[in-house]
Amino acid sequence: MALFTKRIFYSNGTIRYEGDMKDGAENGFGTSYYFNNGGVEYKGNWVNGSRNGQGTYYYQHEKKNGPKMYEGSFKEGKFHGDGTNYWFNGLKKYEGSFANGFYHGKGVFFDKLFDRTYTGEWIEGKPVNLSRTTIVAWGWNANRQTEVPNRFTSLKAIKPEDESASLGFYSSAIDIAAGFCHSVALSEDGTVSTWGGSIPWGYKSVKNGEVPQGLKNITAIAAGDYHTVALSADGAVSVWGEYLHEGEKVPADLINIKAIAASGNLTAVLKEDGTVSAWGGKMSGELFVPSGAAKITDIAAGSDHIVALKDDGTIEAWGSNEDGQLEIPKGLSSVIAIAAHARYTLALKENGTLVAWGRSERLPTSMPRDLKNIQAIAAGGQQAIALKDDGTVVVWGNNMHGQIKDSVGLKNILAITSGSSHLLALVEERN
């Protein structure tokens, strides 16, 4: 039978510590207990009243003694040095190096929820070499469209005591889209997530959050004002949301699609053969694709016009011309990307400069001076955004909801999108 030199008690009379002591403090080998039920908390070595050296730390359990949480080295009461962390069910959670209570250094994480492991370097509970992107959102938030779900936000430190911890919850996003009052993200596993929702001034609820069951293997996404479009790996298109009347549903014979675009209630698709089809819209001619619209490599959609980028770097447009959105600047060539919204269009040239035409309520066509070194563009209802080659962004147009102000200081941007009055950016997380 073990012989203890000293016992210390809680105020309720239960044992707090029993073991070796020196100079009035825990020193040597001893065991501490939880206050509420007397279950073992820690068993191992102590120095001057703190857990130091080798020992085992246990989960708190309602039925007294719980399973072990950690086994290994301690320093000043924290997991420090080599050790093993366990899930509550007894399976290994992490094995490797610790520092100040965090996974730190080389180690292996065993993800029980997603049945996989991550092996590599850790810094304060975060994996160093895990390829990952996050989403930032700003602007109008009346429908919580800028409140990005946790799985797409910054990777938080994984704590040894957290039973719900999983690297799988922090799915990297690979594409983003924004509508009037909703946001969309495409994950690396081919699934789609939406947030935001109903229109605030009395119309019917926008059902963009109701992603169709079984939707998988998605490779691209787009958002109209009140609907969402998804393209799957097999070239099929799915559309869901509000205001999808009979004429706005996906045509039955639509196959072999390689790109999608949406704005307002208009949807456009680019086929593998370089031709375009469209539905929805305002019946302003945007559905009547010109016979010469061939050899198309990319498409963009405004609320009532469509823009097509041809393989020779020139542009073709059709639909409404009420605000000059079809009046492509004479001689425009060497275009590598296009964006459209409402009644205006942006074109990115090979030399990193922008050209704009048409009109928008808040004049995103009036671009900042000396805008150059651009590598991506996105057009929104009241603002436009450009991604520069240094990973920063430039926003112009309306600043009523902080669209411009809150973009200052953003960096490491990989992709951008713009909704009616809010914006999203895909950010490379560098740990």
C-alpha torsion angle, residues 290, 292, 298, 300 (rounded to 10): -20
pLDDT at 292 over 80: no
Q: Measured between alpha carbons, how far is 98 from 119 in angstroms, rounded to an integer?
A: 14
Q: Measured between alpha carbons, how far is 128 from 247 in angstroms, rounded to an integer?
A: 50
The predicted model gives 197-201 an average pLDDT of 53
Residue 128 neighbours by CB distance under 10 Å: 12
Which sequence spans correspond to the domains of the chain?
Answer: 6-127
Q: What SS3 class is residue 174?
A: strand
Read off φ and ψ for residue 378, nearest 5 degrees.
Answer: -150, 140
From the centroid of its chain, how far is CA 219?
Answer: 15
For residues 218 and 231, is the Cβ–Cβ distance under 8 A? yes
Looking at residue 171, its pLDDT comes to 65
Q: What is the DSSP letter of 419?
A: -
Q: What is the DSSP letter of 169?
A: G
pLDDT at 421 over 60: yes
The predicted model gives 334-338 an average pLDDT of 98
Residue 409 neighbours by CB distance under 10 Å: 7
Residue 211 neighbours by CB distance under 10 Å: 18
Look up tokens 């929702």; give the residue. Answer: 197
Looking at residue 286, its pLDDT comes to 77
Looking at residue 363, its pLDDT comes to 59
For residues 397 and 364, is the Cβ–Cβ distance under 8 A? yes
**Start-to-end Cα distance in the chain:** 50
Predicted confidence (pLDDT) per residue in 80-133, tens digit:
999 999 999 999 999 999 999 999 999 999 988 777 788 889 999 988 877 678
The predicted model gives 334-357 an average pLDDT of 95
Between CA 317 and CA 133, with CA 417 as vertex, the angle to 5 degrees is: 140
User: Pick the residue with more confidence: 336 or 163?
Assistant: 336
Look up tokens 């296009």; give the residue. Answer: 338
Mean pLDDT (the chain) is 88
**What are the b/e assignments for 288-308, b being 16+ CB within 10 Å?**
ebeeebeebbbbbbbbbbbbb
Residues 6+ apart with CB under 8 A from 192: 184, 185, 186, 211, 215, 218, 221, 228, 230
Q: Measured between alpha carbons, how far is 158 from 341 in angstroms, rounded to an integer?
A: 41
Looking at residue 169, its pLDDT comes to 63
33-37, 74-78, 94-98, 361-365: segment of lowest average pLDDT = 361-365
For residues 286 and 279, is the Cβ–Cβ distance under 8 A? no
Is residue 374 classed exposed, middle or buried when 0-12, 13-18 and 19+ CB atoms within 10 A define those classes? buried
Bridge partner residues of 6 (DSSP) = 19
With cut-offs at 50, 70 and 90, classify the pLDDT of residue 206.
very low
With cut-offs at 50, 70 and 90, classify the pLDDT of residue 205.
very low
pLDDT cut 70: percent of the chain above it: 91
* pTM for the model: 0.75
Bridge partner residues of 239 (DSSP) = 229
Beta strand 218-223 pairing with 227-232: antiparallel
Looking at residue 2, its pLDDT comes to 45
pLDDT at 389 over 70: yes
pLDDT at 143 over 50: yes
Q: Measured between alpha carbons, how far is 356 from 340 in angstroms, rounded to an integer?
A: 10
Helical residues (DSSP H) of 124-239, grouped into ranges: none
Looking at residue 200, its pLDDT comes to 43
What architecture is domain 6-127? Single Sheet (2.20)
pLDDT at 186 over 90: yes
Predicted confidence (pLDDT) per residue in 218-267, tens digit:
999 999 998 899 999 999 999 988 755 544 567 878 889 999 999 988 99
Residues 6+ apart with CB under 8 A from 235: 255, 256, 257, 258, 272
Per DSSP, the residues of 260-317 read EEEETTEEEEEETTS-EEEEES-SSSTTS--TT--SEEEEEE-SSEEEEEETTS-EEE
Looking at residue 182, its pLDDT comes to 92
Residue 202 neighbours by CB distance under 10 Å: 6
pLDDT at 188 over 90: no
Q: Measured between alpha carbons, how far is 373 from 334 in angstroms, rounded to an integer?
A: 15
34-43, 46-55, 110-119, 357-366: segment of lowest average pLDDT = 357-366
Looking at residue 28, its pLDDT comes to 94
Looking at residue 294, its pLDDT comes to 83
In the structure encoding, which two tokens stand for residue 15, read together?
A: 């044992």
The predicted model gives 375-382 an average pLDDT of 95
